[in-house]
Amino acid sequence: MPQLHRGDAGPAVSEVRSILVKLGLLTESHNGSHEVFDAACEHAVRELQQRKGLITDGVVGPATYRAMLDATYTLGARPLAYTVSAPMSGDDVLALQERLLELGYDAGRPDGVFEGQTEQALRDFQRDMKLTVDGICGAVTVRTLRQLAPKVRGGSPVLLREQERMRTAGPRLRGKRIIIDPGHGGPDRGVVAEDVCEADIVFDLARRLEGRMQATGMDALLTRGPEHCPTEPERARFANETGADLFLSLHVDGHRSPHARGVACFHFGAGNGRTGSTIGEALAGFIQREVTARTGLLDCRSHGRGWDSLRLTRCPAVRVEAGYLTNASDRANLRDPAFLDRIAEGMLIAVKRLYLLGEGDQPTGTFTFADILRHELAKAE
Domain contains 366: yes
Q: How far apart are CA 186 and CA 234, in angstroms?
A: 15
Is residue 355 included in any domain, yes or no?
A: yes
Q: What is the pLDDT of residue 52?
A: 85
**Is 159 inside any structural domain?**
no
Neighbours of 230 (CB within 10 A): 15
Average of pLDDT values for 288-307?
Answer: 94
Do 65 and 127 lie in a common domain?
no
- Residues 6 or more apart whose CB falls under 8 angstroms from that of 96 comprise 75, 80, 107, 114, 118, 122, 137, 145
The whole-angstrom separation of Cα 260 and Cα 333 is 14
- For residue 352, what pLDDT band results from cuts at 50, 70 and 90? very high
Same domain, 207 and 318: yes
CA–CA dist 319, 341 (Å, integer):
18
- Give the residue numbers spanning the domain of 118: 91-154
φ/ψ of 197, rounded to 5, equals -120, 145
How many independent structural domains does the chain possess? 3
Residue 3 lies in a domain: no
pLDDT for the residue numbered 150: 66
Q: Domain for residue 4, yes or no?
A: no
pLDDT in tens, 252-271: 999 989 999 999 999 998 65
Q: Does residue 253 sit within a domain?
A: yes
Q: Are residues 352 and 263 in the same domain?
A: yes
For the stretch 157-203, pLDDT in tens is 666 677 777 777 778 899 999 999 999 999 999 999 999 999 999 99
Max mean pLDDT among 3-12, 92-101, 148-157, 335-344 falls in: 335-344
Instruction: Count Cα neighbours of 122 within 13 Å in the Cβ-side half-sphere.
Output: 26
Of the candidate ranges 100-109, 288-297, 312-321, the one whose mean pLDDT is the lowest: 100-109
Q: Tell me: do 147 and 212 sit in the same domain.
A: no
Average the pLDDT over each of 223-232, 338-347, 358-367 and give the range with the smallest value: 358-367
- Give residues with Cβ within 8 angstroms of 169, minimum separation 6: 176, 245, 355
The answer to whether residues 190 and 336 belong to one domain is yes
Residues 209, 320, single domain; the answer is yes
Band of pLDDT at residue 246, cut at 50, 70 and 90 = very high
Q: Is the domain of 20 the same as that of 129?
A: no
Same domain, yes or no: 242 and 359: yes
Measure the CA–CA gap between 10 and 35, rounded to whole angstroms: 5
Q: Is residue 82 part of a domain?
A: no
Q: What percentage of the chain reaches a pLDDT higher than 70?
A: 91
Q: Using the CB atoms, write b or e for 180-191: b if 16+ within 10 Å.
A: bbbbbbeeeebb
**For residues 91 and 77, is the Cβ–Cβ distance under 8 A?**
no
For residues 21 and 140, membership in a common domain is answered with no
pLDDT, tens digit, for every residue of 35-84?
Answer: 899 999 999 999 999 888 888 899 999 889 999 999 999 999 999 999 98
Per-residue pLDDT of 331-349, as tens digits, reads 999 999 999 999 999 999 9
Question: Mean pLDDT of all residues in the chain?
Answer: 90
**Residues 102, 59: one domain?**
no
CB 307 within 8 A of CB 54: yes
